[in-house]
Amino acid sequence: MMMNEHDDEFDALIGLINDEKEFTLLSHISPDGDTLGSALAFYALLEKLGKTAEVVCSNPVPKIYSFLPNADKVVMPENAVGYRNVISCDCADLPRFGRAIRIFSSAERTAAIDHHITNPRFAQVNLVVSDAAATAEIIHELYCRMDMPIDETAMECLYTGIVTDTGNLSYSNTTSNALRLIAAFIDKGLDIAELNRRIYRTIPYTKTRLQGFVVSRMQLEHNGEVGIAVLTRAQRLEFNATDEDCEGIVDCVRDVDSVKIAAFIRESSDGTFKISLRSKSIGDVCRIAERYGGGGHARAAGYTSHSPLTTVIAEVIRDAAEELGREQKNRNVV
């Protein structure tokens, strides 16, 4: 049985589920495949148990994930019931709730299911497995421990969570257990070719144009080892692009052969800047993000800055260069 070191946390969460009847599940802002896949798989589990549940997110479900079972039932905070038991899925910290923070703060009993190493354990029950490939992997374990069948609905949600958080099983956070789970899904008849087409091969024209525009203007610094792409609010409006259209740009920067640390700096509607960071074999970008109140993983992290764009760019170049220098120094010592 995997994750045995978290037996107490699993038991506490299962106890909460068994004791209560109504639950609100929270996904994080700018929802990705893992927060939605995890929450919707959990929603399906609760329904099978005869519980009442709702999934709440401060942003609409991106079109790319609209195929997920029960995705049409995800509600905005303003339309949520807000049950006394609130469980977050894949939320690394409280600000990730967005407007749904009031629902969490008003709850009588709270729990958090997550795999981010930076999670500060903000709930009463914290099931944080930092070496899991995705939160969806933890939800799968919950299914197993509660002896619940993994049907097609659960498989589609869990598969989406795992493959999107591992870069389609290509990132360093891909676990052998995640591969075994997907192999089991295939054996049960899950059509991963169709799911991959929906997730990775159905791209809006606007997104393609926007990515081409941004990537063509990327800059390389620190002898080509640091790649930076920038999108201002005015540029985004010019393309009539959404936040969803910006997904994947940082990965294009990271994929440049010389780049070791990549950054995508995107201006939000409120004038702040969201910085997405990626690294390859060296460079702990989570360490950079934590300096500014952000977080994530060693190879994928992010934060928000209120500084002017020129300052943000200068800080990213400096911090990335320092991180690469630290890594190189440590390797030389070894």
**Dihedrals phi, psi of 56, to nearest 5 degrees:** -120, 135
Contact (CB, 8 A) for 146 and 45: yes
- End of a domain among 155, 180, 200? 200
Q: What is the pLDDT of residue 1?
A: 39
- End of a domain among 132, 165, 200? 200
Specify whether 183 is located in the same domain as 241.
Answer: no
Specify whether 233 is located in the same domain as 171.
Answer: no
Specify whether 185 is located in the same domain as 249.
Answer: no
Specify whether 83 is located in the same domain as 168.
Answer: yes
State the greatest distance between any 2 C-alpha atoms of the chain, in Å, as a whole number: 59
- Give the pair of three-digit tokens for residue 333: 């010592």
Q: In angstroms, rounded to a whole number, what is the distance separating the alpha carbons of residues 236 and 251?
A: 18
Question: How many independent structural domains does the chain possess?
Answer: 2
Specify whether 250 is located in the same domain as 150.
Answer: no
Q: Is 270 exposed, middle or buried (0-12, 13-18, 19+ CB in 10 A)?
A: exposed
Specify whether 56 is located in the same domain as 181.
Answer: yes
Q: What is the pLDDT of residue 332?
A: 65
Specify whether 190 is located in the same domain as 309.
Answer: no
Q: In angstroms, rounded to a whole number, what is the distance separating the alpha carbons of residues 178 and 182?
A: 6
Whole domain around residue 166: which residue ranges? 4-200
Find all residues with CB under 8 Å of 290, minimum gap 6, and list them. Answer: 118, 301, 303
Query: Tens place of pLDDT for every residue, the chain, 334 residues?
Result: 368 899 999 999 999 999 999 999 999 999 999 999 999 999 999 999 999 999 999 999 999 999 999 999 999 999 999 999 999 999 999 999 999 999 999 999 999 999 999 999 999 999 999 999 999 999 999 999 999 999 999 999 999 999 999 999 998 899 999 999 999 999 999 999 999 999 999 999 999 999 999 999 999 999 999 999 999 999 999 999 998 999 999 999 999 999 999 999 999 999 999 999 999 988 999 999 999 999 998 999 999 999 999 999 999 999 999 999 987 777 665 4
For residue 213, give the CATH number of its domain: 3.10.310.30
Specify whether 138 is located in the same domain as 48.
Answer: yes
Specify whether 220 is located in the same domain as 324.
Answer: yes
What pTM does this model have?
0.90
- Give the pair of three-digit tokens for residue 108: 């009588």
According to DSSP, the residues that pair with 265 across neighbouring strands are 230, 275
Question: Assign residue 229 a region: left if phi > 0, alpha if psi is -120 to 50, beta otherwise?
Answer: beta
Give the total residue count for the chain: 334
- End of a domain among 179, 200, 221? 200
Specify whether 30 is located in the same domain as 150.
Answer: yes
Specify whether 321 is located in the same domain as 285.
Answer: yes
For residue 98, give the CATH number of its domain: 3.90.1640.10
Specify whether 248 is located in the same domain as 138.
Answer: no
Provide the 10 A C-beta neighbour count for residue 90: 30
